[in-house]
Structure 1
């Protein structure tokens, strides 16, 4: 049961924009649409039959392009937005940088409130912590493999640090894939393969 059965309040001139997602074609969006409508979202973007693990989600991408400072992104549940803890943390960090509020009806999170603002800071810390773990685990894994005498082959075109930074730029800073390809001088398949290792 969502905590906001009645419309959310909003700043004058700002919009409440909803996002809904289901993973398979046979699932229905009705419950999420109903909750977002009751929360007074002026428009609801959605992805139907799109797994959270997919790199491209057209509805979410369109929503992120439409959001303006002062707007609120509303979801029925947090897991509808992010495909992993790192992805969710990066998206929330990006919203905070862009001056966009976030509201999850089921979890009772609303960053337009003083208590809710803490959520942005927690998720920013989680994102950084998760990146540090990825770097450390990769370094330790490679060192252990070398100790066992394993042949590691040639190094990948993108280092772990490069992949972690590309993920941050894509999801926190809103860089396009084309910009990342130019920045790291790799093919799209190499970049996407690296990013998939993080989720």
Structure 2
């Protein structure tokens, strides 16, 4: 079965041109959507995907009617392939029942992967540049006032380690880091009482 999918972004826009083209393309059923293409959780799109059966062909007027991003389009292409469903975009002259159509989706997948790799490389380069300037990504350094406070609470043994971390907004690793740097070799229990274990001296 040839199944059409038509979409406009707002209720003020009409689907007539798309519906006419899908009808001429032989679509027996058309899902009509009024929603932004950036939203991947469109109700009519999901309804169509749930109804697809092996051997069906999804037809759209243009690629941007079903997806606004390469990643989303690649994901849909994988979904269609796994379900044994073909895909046709009328204006873009894409038809996965042909060798050229399938080739296009392979290229599209490669482009999406390249884009992800570039983002990763840029992120790593940004962190390296920040470290070179004396700044490191992630949790901000603990200020001196907070260090003094959490060490005092640790020494008082009136609070558990988790309570101290919550109070000072630091991780247990950060607390123990400063305790060890100070040279305090004592351990306290992390139970609800925050008392040292008498059995351990």
TM-score by length of 2: 0.63
Cα 1:62–1:154 shift into 2, 3 Å: farther
Aligned mate of 2:117, from 132, 156, 179:
132
How far, CA to CA, are the matches of 1:32 and 1:68 in structure 2?
23
User: 1:16 touches 1:41 (CA, 8 Å); kept in 2?
Assistant: yes
CA contact (8 A) 1:19 1:81 kept: yes
Alpha-carbon distance in structure 2 between the residues aligned to 1:101 and 1:74: 9
Could you say which residue in structure 2 is the equivalent of 1:51? 36
Aligned residues: 140
Contact 1:23 1:52 in 2 (8 A): yes
Query: In the alignment, what sits opposite 1:91?
Result: 76
| 1:16–1:72 contact (8 Å) kept in structure 2 | yes
Deviations 1:3-31 (CA, angstroms, capped at 9, x unpaired): xxxxxxxxxxxx11111111122111111
Q: CA RMSD in A?
A: 2.0
With structure 1 as the length reference, what TM-score do the two structures score?
0.63
**Equivalent position of 1:79 in the other structure:** 64
Determine whether 1:115 maps to 2:115: no
Q: Which runs of 5+ in 1 are unaligned?
A: 1-14, 156-199
Runs of 4+ with >4 A deviation: none
Q: Give the structure 2 partner of residue 31 of structure 1.
A: 17
Listed as ranges, the gaps of 5+ residues in structure 2 are: 141-201
1:133-164 Cα offsets, whole Å, 9 max, x none, are 22222222232233333453439xxxxxxxxx
- 8 Å contact 1:16–1:73 — kept in the other structure? yes
**Larger RCO (CA within 8 A; separation ≥ 6):** 1
Distance in 2 between residues matched to 1:140 and 1:97, nearest whole Å: 37
Between 15-24 and 125-134, the greater mean CA deviation after superposition: 125-134
In the alignment, the residues of structure 2 paired with residue 97 and residue 143 of structure 1 have an alpha-carbon distance, to the nearest angstrom, of: 40
